[in-house]
Structure 1
Amino acid sequence: MSTAGHEVPPDGGWMAWLQVIGGFLVIFNAQGLIQAGIGMGMAFGGGILVLQSYFTTHLGTAAGLTSAGGSVGGMVYPAIAEQLVFRIGFPNTLRVFAAVAFFTLLPANFIVRQHSNASGGKPQMDRDMFRDVPFLLMSAAFFLTFWGIYFSFYFIVAYAQSHLHLDNHASVTLLILMNATNLPGRLLPPLLSDRRLGPVNTIIPCIFMTGIFLFVWIGATSHTAITVVACFYGFFSGAVQGLYNPAIWNFPGDNVAKKGVRVAFVFLWISIAALTGTPIGGVIIKREHGGYLGAQLFAAMTVLSGGCLLIAARYAKVGWHFTKM
């Protein structure tokens, strides 16, 4: 069956995969450069949420490929900054960033389109979601997870310089390595999710591994140790960032007109978590006079708590028996 020259969902032909390319370019800038605030919110939502109108059985793979743009951007932009800041100055480096963003986002503006059959009518307010226990537990789970997950991306460079006395090149390389391993994390677990387990079942152990490596970071007192932590943390946190969108879609219910409102509600809380989590970590570091232990514990405990709540949400939704979700 085809509509407007391309297949309808699930997994509908060349137009659907074109959305993945467009979304990749959006996330390349939204997470690789902008990272937070209004810019990321405006760009990120359209780039990732449009996939749901094209994919069902391969939504995890599509979302993983799209979110991989954040990993690539997270490698490209720090590398550009390291090479150019001391050569042409900070203002001119920002102009280079702007040029890269412009020329990569320009085609995305022409590519990203919602599927013509995806409309479910006018969005409806849904007060019932505040009585939907699995949905609320899932929302709280992702709030806590994203409250702590970005801490290491922001502070691993400063930690390496202040506590391990690494030079600028070595410390920035840690961030690039973290984003490099973040890339397969956004690709391989979503493939497993689509083929065997489902996004919720796949993301739960990845959240726990992310929290565990935040704890392991506390004991990383050498260049080799922090490099290992950065690589493993990058992989598992990448899996979380690649899978959370398809995982969310397992909870909002079947009412299409209300589903978008529910997903937007979850994204609102995730955005608040991403906005506030890292500054809270910074405040803790400042109060400890440059010590990282309190901030590391904050990040680790919030991520692990998010994993526990997601287990509770899954149990409230389907019980303990295995089902692909």
Structure 2
Amino acid sequence: MAHPEGGLIANLVVLGSFCSITGGLGLMNSIGIYQAYISTHQLSSLSHSQISWIFGVYNFLIFFGGLQIGPIFDAKGPRVLMWIGSGLLVVMFIALGFCEKYWHFFVVLGVLGGIGTSFIFIVPVASIGHFFLRRRGAATGLAMAGGSIGGIIFPIMLEKLAPKIGFAWATRAIGLVTLVLLFIGCLLVRGRQPEPSPSPESPPEKPKPKRESIKSLLPDLNILANPLLALTTAGVFLIEWGFFIPLEYITSYALYHSVSPDLAYLMVVFFNAGSFPGRWIPGILADQVGRYNMLIYTNLLALVAVLGIWMPAQGNVAATIVFAVVFGFASGSNISLVPVCVGELCPTEAYGRYYTTVYTIVSLGALTGVPIAGEIMHRTNGEYWGLIAFAGCSYAAGLLCFLAVKLLQWRRVRNDSTC
């Protein structure tokens, strides 16, 4: 299937993906402010370790939902999936305002929010893959930058509106903005899956048996037999282990070090301000210097940010802001680069299956990373150096996996050239 690499329809798909990701992933990128808010308000009597499971399940379901969403996307296209995910997120925002107890937040934010976000995390990105190949990095990065815009707008709305109109109505106001953005996305995002025309010399194909049709919708873990894909999956698993720790603890870290609440809640905004260019600039450069090369560079920068800036910051306001911006830029690239790196290892018609198989494995890292960090903080008497070290080690291990991919690719090219 040829890729248009542009044109009105392709560009409208990018615009629709940008809008839907702004609304859908805006919650994901501002989740730290919800963690800090409910930890100091509705669930202030509970430990960080207990509360962290709400957000661990949320992160897990974002990725795990792709187990079935991807194959259905490959078979049926994005339309129905976009409407389902958008509806779940709107219902989540409405119900969130009524939450008061632990299990309320667990079901509404953790389960319902995670499942709804999963649709928007997967479908718009996979749709872009149908229209772009050579410029896929730039197109995907531009669309993913919308999540950073949502991550800037939503924390500011919550921080400004909650004291005036209450948490419930503040979340509903955010839900209204999300509704508009997702509606635009539902109208514009589309797939490109033409039916193959039968050859005049050959008879038309027989319909597939029902059992075979059902099997085609199921994920195929056999694709991990490819060592390049297996190492890529391991690397993404490890960096996602570390990624959610700064995102969800940066605000509570600032509050712990006596930063004013107004400024502490803005740490998520600084993070997303850095993430905005970090999602599309590396994507543009990746099309020129190589997708895996850029993935290595940005994860090296993230490792330096965690261990070189955040670890020695000790609550210093300027250093914490610098860390939030630098880490936001470096980690933001992962969202846009990982899909295009996976796309290099699979045919376009199976892109959704490969992409979601990777993130199904990664979901286990998303599930456990934040709770592990919460338990580490509990064991270190509420201090943050332990979870910072854990995040840094996760990025270091993930970086080694990506370097191994490059080594294998280099060896294959060298062997092919000598044949």
CA distance in 2, matches of 1:128, 1:234: 34
CA distance in 1, matches of 2:187, 2:139: 19
Work out whether 1:190 is the aligned partner of 2:283.
yes
Work out whether 1:237 is the aligned partner of 2:231.
no
Find the counterpart in structure 2 of residue 42 from structure 1: 119
Change over 3 Å in CA distance of 1:124–1:90 after alignment to 2: closer
Which of 11, 14, 21 lines up with 1:17 in the alignment?
11
Equivalent residue of 2:128, what SS? Answer: helix
Find the counterpart in structure 1 of residue 273 from structure 2: 180
CA distance in 2, matches of 1:146, 1:220: 23
TM-score after normalising by structure 2: 0.70
Work out whether 1:147 is the aligned partner of 2:241.
yes
Equivalent residue of 2:266, what SS? Answer: helix
Amino acid at match of 1:42: F
Amino acid at match of 1:190: G
Amino acid at match of 2:20: V
Change over 3 Å in CA distance of 1:19–1:275 after alignment to 2: farther
Change over 3 Å in CA distance of 1:44–1:126 after alignment to 2: closer
Which of 159, 169, 178 lines up with 2:253 in the alignment?
159
| Identity across the alignment (%) | 28
Amino acid at match of 2:14: V
Find the counterpart in structure 1 of residue 171 from structure 2: 94
Which of 139, 147, 167 lines up with 1:62 in the alignment?
139
Structure 1 unaligned regions, length at least 5: none
TM-score after normalising by structure 1: 0.89
- The 5 Å alignment of 1:70-219 reads 70-117=147-194, 122=216, 126=220, 128-163=222-257, 165-194=258-287, 196-216=288-308, 217-219=310-312
Structure 2 unaligned regions, length at least 5: 30-58, 60-113, 197-212, 415-419
Work out whether 1:267 is the aligned partner of 2:344.
no
Deviates more, 1:88-97 or 1:257-266: 257-266
Instruction: Answer yes or no: is the 8 Å Cα contact 1:142–1:270 preserved in 2.
Output: yes
CA-CA distance at 1:239 after TM superposition: 1.8
Q: Deviations 1:161-206 (Å, cap 9, x if unpaired)?
A: 112x111111122221111111111121111111x21211111110
Instruction: Answer yes or no: is the 8 Å Cα contact 1:124–1:257 preserved in 2.
Output: no
Find the counterpart in structure 2 of residue 283 from structure 1: 375
Change over 3 Å in CA distance of 1:320–1:179 after alignment to 2: farther
Amino acid at match of 1:30: G
Change over 3 Å in CA distance of 1:184–1:94 after alignment to 2: same
Q: Deviations 1:49-72 (Å, cap 9, x if unpaired)?
A: 111100001100111011101100
Amino acid at match of 2:397: S
Change over 3 Å in CA distance of 1:214–1:91 after alignment to 2: same
Instruction: Answer yes or no: is the 8 Å Cα contact 1:19–1:112 preserved in 2.
Output: yes
Q: Higher relative contact order by CA 8 Å / sep ≥ 6: 1 or 2?
A: 2
Instruction: Answer yes or no: is the 8 Å Cα contact 1:123–1:260 preserved in 2.
Output: no
Find the counterpart in structure 2 of residue 250 from structure 1: 344
Instruction: Answer yes or no: is the 8 Å Cα contact 1:218–1:293 preserved in 2.
Output: yes
Instruction: Answer yes or no: is the 8 Å Cα contact 2:26–2:154 preserved in 1.
Output: yes
Which of 218, 228, 234 lines up with 2:322 in the alignment?
228
CA-CA distance at 1:321 after TM superposition: 6.8
Q: Deviations 1:198-246 (Å, cap 9, x if unpaired)?
A: 2111111101111221112010131111111111111111122221111
Instruction: Answer yes or no: is the 8 Å Cα contact 1:156–1:174 preserved in 2.
Output: yes
CA distance in 2, matches of 1:290, 1:168: 18
Higher Cα Rg, which structure: 2
Find the counterpart in structure 2 of residue 27 from structure 1: 21
CA distance in 2, matches of 1:294, 1:118: 54
Deviates more, 1:10-19 or 1:43-52: 10-19
Change over 3 Å in CA distance of 1:181–1:110 after alignment to 2: same
Poorly superposed stretches of 4+, deviation over 6 Å: none
Change over 3 Å in CA distance of 1:123–1:12 after alignment to 2: farther
Equivalent residue of 1:251, what SS? Answer: coil
Work out whether 1:297 is the aligned partner of 2:291.
no
RMSD across aligned C-alpha pairs, in angstroms?
2.2
Instruction: Answer yes or no: is the 8 Å Cα contact 1:30–1:70 preserved in 2.
Output: yes
Amino acid at match of 2:18: F
CA distance in 2, matches of 1:118, 1:78: 44
